[in-house]
Chains A and B, each alone.
Chain A
Amino acid sequence: MNPLASCLPARALRSRCGEAGFTIVELVVAAGITAVMAGFIAAIVLNVSTSWSRAGARLGADAQARIVLDQLQLDLEGALFRDDGNVWFAADILNGSTGGTTGLWQTAPRNPKPANNLSLQLTAPDIANARFGTAGVWLRFFTTSRGANTAAAPATISAPVAVGYQIIRRFSATNPANTGTAYLLHRAEARPATVNGRIGVLEAGFTITSANYTTSTSGSNNGSGTGDPRSIQVPGTNGGAARNLDAVIADNVIDFGLRCYVGDATVPGGLRLTFPATATGALANAATSRLRASLPPGVPAAQWGTAQPFPDVVDIMIRILTDDGAEQIAKIVESGTVAVPQKYNGNAQEWWWGVALENSRVYTRRVVLNARSL
């Protein structure tokens, strides 16, 4: 039984209930308080969201960097070298409007990453502040793969392979309808030997600069399928479809560089720079800098001639855009209609790097190479 019904006549009840409504003042006050609180909450949420976003972006970049650097460390620590006159380790600065010679580089509709000294600052004392060209360094060497060792799948056998690292601004999806692009860091690995009629490293040989690894044309047994030696130069076109992303190890990597050293007791610190370096071992800001390591690391500089030694130590840097930064670069700087902000004085190239610097993180690591030739 309703207690009100038992104690109040219905009329009285209706009257009293009607009188219980909020006054306008109450509503205004309540709305105001609610608005203040909502604003407060919104501010908190916004801050949290920003922090969340930043943390997420940082974690994402950190995770990518960790993957890349760990993989590079494993590869470099196991890098192979023999004193046979062949080039076992090569590095090139790629500072052109089309990246390397892959043919996969998608040029930005506007304001591309500048192919000038803004992107080429090799002499910065700290490698973290250095810039290695529009496509960074193209690094190639031989190492031993860590495969599953499945008897039925020869490509999985742990054996010497060739690996190549390079950045390509290319389509970031396998769907041809998707024309979005990104700066993708690739790690191509040429299979250890012939599988299903397609050659591997054993057949291609141990000269990382030889034609099998650098040919610009695709042969019947060495095209650009995953694992082909040619993929060291052209990491994945899937027979020309330009959409094979098997070799991508990280995205939004806008710079990848390294400095190579050999032990030299005559040099302060005991390490002599060999790449990118002048003949005297000083940092050089030359787009033509390259490393073709064919000498053992212990050979004194006086014996080098035109050859270069295999490094003892390699410093690596990678610059990774946050997701937001990648979006800004892709959708605002390199496409769209937004004008160059005033703070860049109309210099789109400065704008590109300004956005990149504000929205990227740099990761570095020093790796000691273990192999010594006989």
Chain B
Amino acid sequence: MGSRLSTLSSQLRRAPRGGFALLIVVTLLAFIVLLLVGLAAFTRVETSIAGNTQRQAQARENALLALNVALGQLQKHAGPDKRITATADAFPNGAGTTRYTGVWASDPADDPDGDPLTPLTWLVSGNELFDSSGAPLPLAVPPGSTVTATGATPNGVALVSTNTSRTANDVLARLMPITAAGVPGAAPTGPPPTIGRYAWWVGDQGVKAPVAVADASTQVNYPPFGDGTAQTDLGRRIRQQVALGAGALDLSASPPGPAFEPRDANNAPLVAGQKVSHTAQMAFLRNAANTQLGLTRAQQNFHAWSPNNFAVLADTKNGGLRQDLSLDPTLLGSAFAAWADYATHMEPPVPGAVSPPVPDYGAEPIRRRHVLTPHLVDGGGSHQIGPVLTYFLLTFNVRTIGNSRAANAPLEVRALWTVSLWNPYTAALVPEDLQITVTGLPSTVSIVNDNPARAIPFVGSFSPGAVFGSPFTISLPWPSAPVPNGAVLEDRASWLPGRTHSWRSIEDKSGSGPAAAGYDSFFGARDFNSSGEGVVFPLSGLSIADGDDDMHIEVDGSTNLVVTVNVLRAGGPVRLGRFQSSNFVPNFPTVSQAAELNGKQFTYVFRLAEGLDTPATPGVWLTTDGRDVRRRTLPSEAFLPEAAGDNPASYDEKNLPSVVNPDRLLDRAPGSFTYNEDAPVFELPRAPFLSLGALQHLRMIGRRPFMIGNSWGVAETLNGIPLGEIFDRFFFSGLVAGVSPVTSPAGDLVLPNPLLRPLRLADGARPTETDLRALPEARSSARLLQSAAFNLNSTNPAAWAAVLRSVRFPAQPSSPHNGAFRYLEVSDATGTADDSAVAPLQSGDAQFLRFSQSAQETYKAEAGFAAGAASPASPAATHLFRRGVKSLAAPQVAALADAVAAAVKARQQTSGPFRTVAEFLTPSVPNTPSLLEQAIIAADAVLPVGGRINRDAADNPIEFSSQFLTQADIMTALAPVLFPRSDTFVIRAYGEAVNPATNATEGRAWCEATVQRVPDYMDPSEAPEVLPANLASELNKQLGRRFKVVSFRWLTRSDI
């Protein structure tokens, strides 16, 4: 017991000290634990942050890897000139693969499998792989392959989805693994572990419509487009000659209407200077109600609209850069060069010019006059400016002198005529005195006395050539006396556009023969009955037994008369044209009549065939091969005899035709001065050409009109170059001789073709006019890019709809006259008016100009007129020929765009994408409509009656006139911007970091780059203008022209 007490006592003594130690220990441990926990927390946080940072950095690096792979693939496949691009829309595709971009070889020889339906590659991740020998593997990810971004085992990732295009998983790209050997913890054998993945997709911007392009034409204010400070009328006409940027159409509206107008007051400041460079910025553009378009609308049109696209002016058929016809028009032959050299055949457009029209030019003339010019033919083309014979009548009468009824009355012969010549151009002509010569008149005219009492019926014979001279020469003087200003006759101061003028014979009984210029004629009339006796010659040695005797005439002649029209110049007559009459019966007797009568015995009368003569197909006269009325020698097929037929004897005194026919297009009522009877068909150059489509007015020797740009002309050649190929090989900068462009505030040349963007020279300097002119073989394209470019292989209706609206005249405060198209407000009473009398036309509708340089002068027209206001129901429909502008309202454009897009898609499904512009213009089956022509027909099939494109309100076909929309009309507007490939692309790339141990994705990054192909080759030691065939650098041969990253940005998930 004592022991236990001792132990207890001892424990009691020690207890306080043990608690203290414990407290100390616990405290220390607490501190240590706290310290460790704190440090651990810090370490964990820091490690976590560092890890996240590292993984995010790794993901970004992987994304950049993907971007570089994409850029390399794009360079490799689309760098060479002879490549074309299109999307997978027309090809078998699946979810998320419709927007894949394919690259095809334009030259079948470059296509390994020769199958036009399979491209060289689809520009999406998975198709970039090589085998161990370096040979490319077969395409692993065609559009038809399965790519999924969801589910248990996704093999792809969405690169375009709701936040880009309002469509979930719109573009899916295959995820490609990034592996690494030697990863700690990884098995030394077996496949290396995946440390990351990447994906990329190249989006084709060129198939989208460039809808945020500013009107740069207003800067072109130097001669001849302005005075160096402000634009004159010629400068403002640039807007009607070339596309200046697409006009977005809202196809979801009913009816469709403009989505926004980049040139209006609300948007012009926003799109100026290419401020809109990003698709999302279109959300900020404003509609007609001045409301921002909104992100949703912009996203919905992600695949249809782009701010702007640029194209290298390259030839996809032959390779190499296109040549500038403005610098060297002789590339298409000397005839074309002469035709394009407007300054040589046009009066100087300055006040006080020689032989000015009355009224004189205003300070800002919109009217130009051209000088009659003889034919110059070369290389299959022809240049000429001359009138066209539309009506010819020459009648003969043999009678007794003085209408004597006496015995042995001497005979005389007289001739009377009427001639009508037509100015077929939209330009006024400088009037000059003309002359016609007539050959092919009867060689022998025998006179036979029909009185049975006469023993010898044969009276005698004569040769008209011997009597009247051979050839039969008629002077057609233009009134030389000044025409009083304001008088009715003032329109005769010029030969106004599309106007037909007539002359008739004048009585001349002198018997002295013609003056040097020919028998004189009276201008401005055609009633030859007012000609008095006509030109009368006694028939020397011929008399008739009795003036009362009946007689007839037996004519021994030829089938055709040949009428040659000359202009009388100081050096003598200069031939302007030759016209072969319709066929006549060569030998014929006339109807018997008393010898003393004035009645005409036989008459050669013929007129130019026109729509009236083939009512079922009224366009025949302008659409038949060999019948271009400007032809050097227009064949007899182009003319028709009058209603009584081909026997001149049918047109005797009692049956002479009525010259006046109100239903004729190329006719004019007596005393009429109205513009409503003018019918222009062709345009003459009056300014530097800006669009190849405008070459449709060049005459091709021996062919039908409007060859260039239309389906019927593509196989012909000009200077050895197929007409269709012209669109692939050439372009117009507008930099013709004498034109000296100004520079923009930034120092860039402002070229007449305002959508050409100059690029810096190799030494970094901005190119000067001299630099461009000095480039060899007129390849100024080496330093130019075409803005507002569009890939014609687009299958997007909304894109096509916008592009088809590239020429329009909306309210445009930044432009003179608020952007209105101003046409000459001519006087209905006088046929002319002061140049300052103009009327505006303002419309956001699509405009297709047959007369792209001159529509102003002939635009004014009222429907229903032919030969005067008295016959408003005339089928001649002169107004169709005058307007020169075919306007398509939004529903029409929408229907046409639908048809074009569908046709392009159908073509791609059967034959692959168009490889050249020429292919696009060429019918797939000869002598059938081309794609655009089929599209117009297809659009008309769905449009309501009264609203169809090439049909009138009663649904009859519109005659082949400037109101009949042709492929060439569309190309006039779009030729500068249509290409069979794209040069602007957007690359979206994705990278992710993967934990090799868990295979979990621990970091993601997206980026986007806009890349642009430029003329420079990859190896800059070779100049851009070097043709591919002449390249020495293997790098350049294989990779072609360089793609540059012009913008880059990192994306977030919210951007996808």
A and B held together in a complex: yes
Interface residues of A (CB under 8 A from B): 3-4, 7-8, 16-17, 20, 22, 30, 34, 37, 41, 44-45, 48, 52, 55-56, 59, 63, 66, 74, 77-78, 80, 82-86, 143-144, 146-151, 154, 157-160, 192-194, 200, 202-203, 205-206, 295-296, 298-300, 302-303, 370-374
Q: Which residues of A contact B446 (CB under 8 A)?
A: none
Given contacts A154-B295, A374-B1012, contact A78 B280 (CB under 8 A): no
Q: Which residues of B contact A83 (CB under 8 A)?
A: 746, 760
Given contacts A34-B24, A158-B1054, A299-B760, contact A202 B270 (CB under 8 A): yes
Q: With an 8 A cutoff between CB atoms, is B747 at the interface?
A: yes
- Closest B-chain residue to A78, C-beta based? B1049
Q: Which residues of B contact A158 (CB under 8 A)?
A: 280, 1049, 1051-1052, 1054-1055
- Closest B-chain residue to A33, C-beta based? B24
Q: With an 8 A cutoff between CB atoms, is B163 at the interface?
A: yes
Least CB distance, A160 to chain B, in whole angstroms:
6
Given contacts A41-B31, A144-B1049, A202-B276, contact A303 B42 (CB under 8 A): no
Q: How far is the CA of A23 from the CA of B444 in the complex (A)?
A: 170
Q: Which residues of A contact B453 (CB under 8 A)?
A: none
Interface residues of B (CB under 8 A from A): 1, 4-5, 8-9, 12-13, 16-17, 20, 24, 27-28, 31, 35, 38, 42, 45-46, 49, 53, 163, 269-270, 273-278, 280-281, 283-284, 292, 294-296, 310, 744-747, 757, 759-760, 763-765, 785, 1009, 1012, 1014, 1044-1052, 1054-1055
On whether the beta carbons of B281 and A160 are closer than 8 Å, the reply is yes
Q: Which residues of A contact B1044 (CB under 8 A)?
A: 372, 374
On whether the beta carbons of B38 and A52 are closer than 8 Å, the reply is yes
Q: How far is the CA of A160 from the CA of B270 in the complex (A)?
A: 13
Q: Which residues of A contact B277 (CB under 8 A)?
A: 80, 82, 160
Given contacts A44-B31, A77-B1048, contact A151 B1055 (CB under 8 A): no
Given contacts A77-B1050, A84-B746, A296-B760, contact A160 B284 (CB under 8 A): no
Q: How far is the CA of A3 from the CA of B1046 in the complex (A)?
A: 95
Q: How far is the CA of A371 from the CA of B1047 in the complex (A)?
A: 5
- Closest A-chain residue to B163, C-beta based? A149
Least CB distance, B899 to chain A, in whole angstroms:
33
On whether the beta carbons of A146 and B1048 are closer than 8 Å, the reply is no
Q: Which residues of A contact B747 (CB under 8 A)?
A: 85
- Closest B-chain residue to A143, C-beta based? B1049
Given contacts A83-B746, A151-B295, contact A374 B1051 (CB under 8 A): no
Q: Which residues of B contact A41 (CB under 8 A)?
A: 27-28, 31
On whether the beta carbons of B760 and A192 are closer than 8 Å, the reply is no
- Closest B-chain residue to A45, C-beta based? B31
Given contacts A80-B1047, A373-B1046, A374-B1012, contact A205 B760 (CB under 8 A): no
Q: How far is the CA of A215 from the CA of B46 in the complex (A)?
A: 43
- Name B1046's contact: one of A7, A37, A371 (CB within 8 Å): A371
On whether the beta carbons of A372 and B1045 are closer than 8 Å, the reply is yes
On whether the beta carbons of B1045 and A151 are closer than 8 Å, the reply is no
On whether the beta carbons of B763 and A300 are closer than 8 Å, the reply is yes
Q: Which residues of A contact B284 (CB under 8 A)?
A: 154, 157, 159, 192-194, 200, 202
On whether the beta carbons of B1014 and A374 are closer than 8 Å, the reply is yes
- Name B46's contact: one of A37, A59, A78, A150 (CB within 8 Å): A59
Q: How far is the CA of A203 from the CA of B296 in the complex (A)?
A: 21
Least CB distance, A148 to chain B, in whole angstroms:
5
On whether the beta carbons of A159 and B296 are closer than 8 Å, the reply is no
Least CB distance, B589 to chain A, in whole angstroms:
81
Q: How far is the CA of A114 from the CA of B118 in the complex (A)?
A: 70
Q: How far is the CA of A126 from the CA of B855 in the complex (A)?
A: 68
Least CB distance, A265 to chain B, in whole angstroms:
12
On whether the beta carbons of B31 and A303 are closer than 8 Å, the reply is no
Known: A59-B45, A296-B760. 13 other contacts (CB 8 A): A7-B5, A56-B42, A63-B49, A77-B1050, A149-B1054, A150-B295, A154-B294, A154-B295, A157-B284, A159-B278, A206-B273, A300-B763, A374-B785
Q: Which residues of B contact A300 (CB under 8 A)?
A: 763-764
Q: Which residues of A contact B42 (CB under 8 A)?
A: 55-56, 59
21 pairs, A vs B, C-beta closer than 8 Å: A20-B12, A48-B35, A66-B53, A77-B1050, A78-B1047, A83-B760, A84-B274, A143-B1049, A144-B278, A146-B1052, A147-B1055, A148-B1054, A151-B294, A151-B295, A154-B294, A159-B283, A159-B284, A192-B284, A203-B269, A299-B760, A300-B763
Q: How far is the CA of A63 from the CA of B744 in the complex (A)?
A: 47
Given contacts A8-B5, A59-B46, contact A159 B1055 (CB under 8 A): no
On whether the beta carbons of A157 and B1050 are closer than 8 Å, the reply is no
- Closest B-chain residue to A296, C-beta based? B760
Least CB distance, A200 to chain B, in whole angstroms:
8
Given contacts A44-B31, A202-B276, A371-B1048, contact A192 B270 (CB under 8 A): no
Q: How far is the CA of A83 from the CA of B747 in the complex (A)?
A: 10
Q: How far is the CA of A30 from the CA of B760 in the complex (A)?
A: 89
Least CB distance, B163 to chain A, in whole angstroms:
5
- Closest A-chain residue to B17, C-beta based? A30
Given contacts A41-B28, A158-B1054, A159-B278, contact A7 B745 (CB under 8 A): no
Least CB distance, B290 to chain A, in whole angstroms:
11
Q: How far is the CA of A160 from the CA of B283 in the complex (A)?
A: 12
On whether the beta carbons of A7 and B53 are closer than 8 Å, the reply is no
On whether the beta carbons of A202 and B275 are closer than 8 Å, the reply is yes
- Closest A-chain residue to B24, C-beta based? A37
- Closest A-chain residue to B281, C-beta based? A159
Q: Which residues of B contact A55 (CB under 8 A)?
A: 42
Q: Which residues of A contact B1009 (CB under 8 A)?
A: 370
Closest 7 CB pairs of A and B: A85-B746, A299-B764, A193-B284, A370-B1048, A144-B1049, A78-B1049, A303-B764
- Name B281's contact: one of A66, A148, A192 (CB within 8 Å): A192
Least CB distance, A205 to chain B, in whole angstroms:
7
Q: Which residues of B contact A149 (CB under 8 A)?
A: 163, 280, 295, 1054-1055
- Closest A-chain residue to B1, C-beta based? A7
- Closest B-chain residue to A307, C-beta based? B747
On whether the beta carbons of A372 and B1055 are closer than 8 Å, the reply is no
Q: Which residues of B contact A59 (CB under 8 A)?
A: 42, 45-46
Least CB distance, B167 to chain A, in whole angstroms:
14
- Closest B-chain residue to A207, C-beta based? B273
Q: Which residues of A contact B274 (CB under 8 A)?
A: 82, 84
Q: Which residues of B contact A17 (CB under 8 A)?
A: 12
- Closest B-chain residue to A17, C-beta based? B12
